[in-house]
């Protein structure tokens, strides 16, 4: 692997690492519905503001979400819309796996 390829795969890994947390996946699900301010997300997650802000910072640094300051509030929205398709793909695979497991149980 050359240096350019290494940088490419490191950038890709950074995105996947940012997605690899249940709270961040929840936040992304909510942002797929509509943009949200930090206070809304904090209430929805049920954690303190600093924890939610840290999760948002990780997603922002991976360029998955983008923020916009409006007055005293900071709003977040999806910057990488292909994540929606990725999540649908994952959900389809999970549903297929569940069906296959259920069919296997029924046959036994």
Confirm whether 72 is domain-assigned.
yes
**Torsion angle defined by CA atoms of residues 83, 87, 34 and 40, in that order, rounded to the nearest 10 degrees:** -100
What's the total number of domains in the chain? 1
89 in a structural domain? no
**Residue 88 maps to a domain:** no
Q: Is residue 95 part of a domain?
A: no
CB 24 within 8 A of CB 54: no
90: in domain: no
Residue ranges making up the domain that contains 55? 3-80
Contact yes or no for 48/42 (Cβ under 8 A): yes
Q: What is the pLDDT of residues 58-99, one digit of tens each?
A: 999 999 999 999 999 999 999 998 888 888 888 888 898 888
Q: Which pLDDT tens digit goes with each residue over 36-65?
A: 999 999 999 999 999 999 999 999 999 999
60: domain CATH number is: 1.10.10.10
pTM of the model: 0.84
């Amino acid at each position: 692997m050359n240096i350019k390829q290494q940088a490419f795969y490191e950038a890709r890994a950074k995105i996947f690492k940012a997605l690899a947390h249940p709270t961040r996946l929840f936040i992304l699900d909510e942002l797929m519905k509509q943009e949200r301010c930090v206070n809304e997300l904090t209430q929805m997650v049920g954690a303190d503001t600093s924890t939610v802000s840290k999760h948002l910072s990780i997603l922002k640094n991976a360029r998955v979400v983008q923020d916009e300051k409006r007055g005293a509030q900071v709003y977040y929205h999806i910057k990488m819309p292909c994540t929606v398709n990725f999540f649908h793909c994952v959900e389809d695979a999970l549903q297929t796996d569940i069906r296959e497991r259920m069919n296997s149980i029924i046959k036994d």
